[in-house]
Structure 1
Amino acid sequence: MSTPVLTFLGAAGTVTGSKFLLEYQNHRTLIDCGLFQGEARWRRRNWDSFPIDPHTLDAVVLTHAHLDHCGYLPALVRQGFHGPVICSPATAEVAAIVLRDAAHLQMEDAGHARAGGYSRHDPPLPLFDSADAERAIRHFRPTPESGMSELPGGGTVTLYRAGHILGSTFAVVELGGRRLAVSGDLGRQNHPLLLPPEPLPDVDAVVIESTYGNRLHLPVDHARLARLITSTVERGGVVLIPAFAVDRTAVILHELAVLTTERLIPHLPIYVNSPMSLAALNVYRTAVEHKSDELRPEILTGDDPFDPGDLRLVQSVDESMRINNPGRPCIIVSASGMATGGRVLYHLERLLPQTKNTVLLPGYQVAGTRGRQLLDGARSVKIHGRYVPVRARVTDMPEFSAHADADELVNWLSTARREPDAVYVVHGEEDARHALADRIGDELGWTAVTPHHLERVRL
């Protein structure tokens, strides 16, 4: 092939499963390696044969450590991939936490299915296990942000700050004389902890996410959150926050610390009940201690930004089960953020049937997840093989999203000094992808397309 070819192996037509294959002559690099999540039609793709022989991949580049960008790595290694996984140092640290937890949940879910007899597979097996996760982690090759790295087989990759979660980057790959930027997930201009994304350098093509491609974020409504918490306390209830372990838990704790300090909410026990959340929180605290250049300067001064005053870190399973009956109003922050697995499911089983409780959803909920079902007003949800009635108050606060909104995505593209040949809009539901592509064409005058699954394009 005379020019590099880009193939969309995921996140084309859905908001998960980011995988983008770049090929030139005998060189193959996969940019991101995410799991498909949400609806069964997407999840089933995780079990499909990988479109190319994993042995033939030279390298994987990870933009960041969220499961829909890194979670397929253990399965890829299980099938024979043996090259380097290039990422930022913080992504290597956080992705190790995420993959170990994902393997644990895969094996736990298979065990529940075997015990309950509610799987269509006999016997139910995990997509990958802990040994696969450890093998994948050993392939990580951390590289500094804004530093160019050589790719095996030819070409280079440069990682730039994306401001989405700690360690998140967008990648610029140069191969065969062409330059491709892959946004990963772009962060907010006003993220409470992280600095915003760096400008887009000159490139020939861009792959851009569109999670919020048709929406704008409102400012965080501190007063509304305070009212939700206070009214739940007055009812004698519990506020349950299913939060993504990486970044969202830290952001929520910071917000609760501000509300407590300003006496907008009563002094309450605040439990963090997720092994992955605790591990990720330690990474954020270490970043504060070492004054990471990803963090906003104001976070690096003063007291612990993640301690609201009565913070209780739940370590053991016994402790986790005890706070299912806390005996007094409190706040529980637990993972996973879309209620697809983890300890939060046990809290939902216990708390959803009671009208005095509140479930607060502070992040994007992919179609097909329990979180999306709750957000859409489901009267019951299925957990561990049985239906649980939903009588608790369920509400969301999408302004806590760490994703750039439509304006921020367009503004980031406009930081480029020249027009790329094409912008490929991915990683969004169909209405969001098309809306963003239309805006790029109308406002920037650029060629913007919405590729389909397995589509191949020449750069």
Structure 2
Amino acid sequence: MGDALGLRFLGATGTVTGSKFLLTTGQHRLLVDCGMYQGDRELRRRNWAPVPGLAPDVDAVVLTHAHLDHCGYLPRLVRHGFSGPVYCSPWTVRVAPIVLRDAAHLQEEDAVYAARRGSSRHDPPLPLFDTADAEKAIALLRPLPYGKTQRAAGMTVRLRRAGHILGSSTVEVEAPGGSVAFSGDLGRTTHPLLAPPEPAPAVDALVVESTYGDRRHPPRRLHGLAEPIARALARGGVVLIPAFAVDRTPVLLMSLRELMRSGALPTVPVYVDSPMALAALDVYREAVREGSPEIRADVRRAGTDPFDPGDLRLAHTVEESRRLNDPPSPCVIISASGMATGGRVVHHLEHLAPQPRNLILLPGFQVSGTRGRALLDGATTLKMYGRYVPVRAEVASVDELSAHADADGLLAWLRSAPSPARTCYVVHGEPAPAAALAARIGTELGWCAVVPRYAERVLL
């Protein structure tokens, strides 16, 4: 096929995780995103299976942002022989190492636990990747500022601001055989901290996410956050919020600050209990101090710490974390992971979920097969550390803090392109949202919109 530009969908098809998109032209291979699968067991098993056309054959990688489902497979790629450059925005170069080191630590912990209980098919049980793999992957990160071009794998790459998390980017790739852009995870124009996404480019093909492709977010009024928290604190309970360490924790702190300063919530201790979240919070604070253009102008002008609700307490040590399993007074605990799949939040769930006075607040999308999704679906028990724990605490969810564009936002971004794409590929969504967004793109924009299959290859 000569220099024809090909695209293969090696992840984020039929699901919101595992983003991997392989571009090929002639003898060159460029991978856009290198994410891990999360969620149910069938999806997680894909992390262990060989991926068609990947390492060591990939020449270079481009990352849209530092969330695990977009960068977490990178150490595994390195373990299989990849040693090329990994291009991403300068802030992603700062945030991705936090995510990758934490993921390696959890993989190693899981392997030790599997050995202890004899639950692995391997003897001894193996991690998907380890700390050494993560460090090798981190050493490959190369900063690419927004708007600058970079030759990679015989193609030209350009990043633009996506407004989803600090450092998040849309990716535009040009090659002799055509051009394509990837939305990555697209942010909201109303994000309280980050500047909105830049417009979509004029390209032959657009690959767009569809996490919320079948719904509209409620306006950001914070009522949905304040009401259940106030109710739990009034009855003397603890509010446990499983939150993504990157972006969701800083945004939660900003929201709690707003609510406590306005009197909508009483000022109680707010704990951040996640080494990863604390490291990410330091990076976000640095971005605010430096006046990064990714930060909204009003936040830059304020000149204060936007992340302190009034009584912020940071749990650095394991002992400090343990004490939060039975806090002495009503408080808010923000802990990773965001879907309660691992990390310190699982210990807190084990102790706090059985008590009716407490609240478990889910502030983001919950992938099928995770503890967070089980709670959202009304589970009355959760399995943790090999045994079941009753869930008697109140469970609530709130979409007001989502960092993803909703269906209207995705369509607005596509509409902002100077000219229509020949084809729009709808990815990174569960089947119903992806199909709904594709239908709206066809009806409202008049574009050819397709929901691709796993491992499907198309010519651009």
TM (normalized to structure 2)? 0.98
Partner of 2:241: 241
- Following the alignment from structure 2 to structure 1, what is the Cα–Cα distance between the partners of residues 400 and 184? 20
- Following the alignment from structure 1 to structure 2, what is the Cα–Cα distance between the partners of residues 319 and 122? 35
Deviation of the 1:121 alpha carbon: 4.2
Give CA-to-partner distance per residue, 1:419-442, whole Å, 9 cap, x none.
Answer: 111000000000011000000000
Alpha-carbon RMSD across the aligned residues, in angstroms, is 1.0
1:68 aligns with 2:69: yes
Identity in percent? 61
Partner of 1:190: 190
Deviation of the 1:415 alpha carbon: 0.5
Counterparts of 1:330-349 in structure 2 under 5 Å? Answer: 330-349=331-350
Which letter maps to 1:213? Answer: G
Residues 107/445 of structure 1: CA separation in 2 closer, same or farther (3 Å cut): same
- Structure 2 gaps, min length 5: none
Deviation of the 1:341 alpha carbon: 0.5
- Following the alignment from structure 2 to structure 1, what is the Cα–Cα distance between the partners of residues 77 and 224? 44
Deviation of the 1:53 alpha carbon: 4.8
Which letter maps to 2:443? Answer: D
Partner of 2:179: 179
- Following the alignment from structure 1 to structure 2, what is the Cα–Cα distance between the partners of residues 72 and 226? 36
Deviation of the 1:327 alpha carbon: 1.1
Q: Is the Cα–Cα contact under 8 Å of residues 118 and 385 in structure 1 kept in the other structure?
A: no
Which letter maps to 1:402? Answer: A
Q: Is the Cα–Cα contact under 8 Å of residues 112 and 384 in structure 1 kept in the other structure?
A: no
- Following the alignment from structure 1 to structure 2, what is the Cα–Cα distance between the partners of residues 227 and 435? 31
Partner of 1:232: 232
Give CA-to-partner distance per residue, 1:62-116, whole Å, 9 cap, x none.
Answer: 0000000000000000000010000001011101100000001111112222223
Partner of 1:22: 23
Give CA-to-partner distance per residue, 1:161-186, whole Å, 9 cap, x none.
Answer: 00000000000001124110011000
Residues 19/347 of structure 1: CA separation in 2 closer, same or farther (3 Å cut): same
Partner of 1:317: 318
Partner of 2:362: 361
1:352 aligns with 2:353: yes
1:210 aligns with 2:210: yes
Which letter maps to 1:273? Answer: D
- Structure 1 gaps, min length 5: none
Residues 53/281 of structure 1: CA separation in 2 closer, same or farther (3 Å cut): closer
1:272 aligns with 2:297: no
| Segment of structure 1 superposing worse, 212-221 or 61-70 | 212-221
Deviation of the 1:150 alpha carbon: 1.2
- Following the alignment from structure 2 to structure 1, what is the Cα–Cα distance between the partners of residues 261 and 147? 37
Deviation of the 1:340 alpha carbon: 0.6
Q: How many residues align?
A: 458
- Following the alignment from structure 1 to structure 2, what is the Cα–Cα distance between the partners of residues 226 and 180? 42
SS at match of 1:181: strand
Q: Is the Cα–Cα contact under 8 Å of residues 169 and 183 in structure 2 kept in the other structure?
A: yes
SS at match of 1:74: helix
Give CA-to-partner distance per residue, 1:220-259, whole Å, 9 cap, x none.
Answer: 3423422222221121110000000000000000000111
TM (normalized to structure 1)? 0.98
Which letter maps to 2:117? Answer: G
Give CA-to-partner distance per residue, 1:375-419, whole Å, 9 cap, x none.
Answer: 000010111111111000001001211000000001100011211
Which letter maps to 1:335? Answer: A
Partner of 1:123: 124
- Following the alignment from structure 1 to structure 2, what is the Cα–Cα distance between the partners of residues 302 and 11? 39
- Following the alignment from structure 1 to structure 2, what is the Cα–Cα distance between the partners of residues 291 and 200? 25
SS at match of 1:196: coil
Counterparts of 1:47-58 in structure 2 under 5 Å? Answer: 47-58=48-59
Deviation of the 1:345 alpha carbon: 0.3
Partner of 2:256: 256
Deviation of the 1:41 alpha carbon: 1.0
SS at match of 1:158: strand
- Following the alignment from structure 1 to structure 2, what is the Cα–Cα distance between the partners of residues 224 and 57? 45
- Following the alignment from structure 2 to structure 1, what is the Cα–Cα distance between the partners of residues 224 and 187? 23
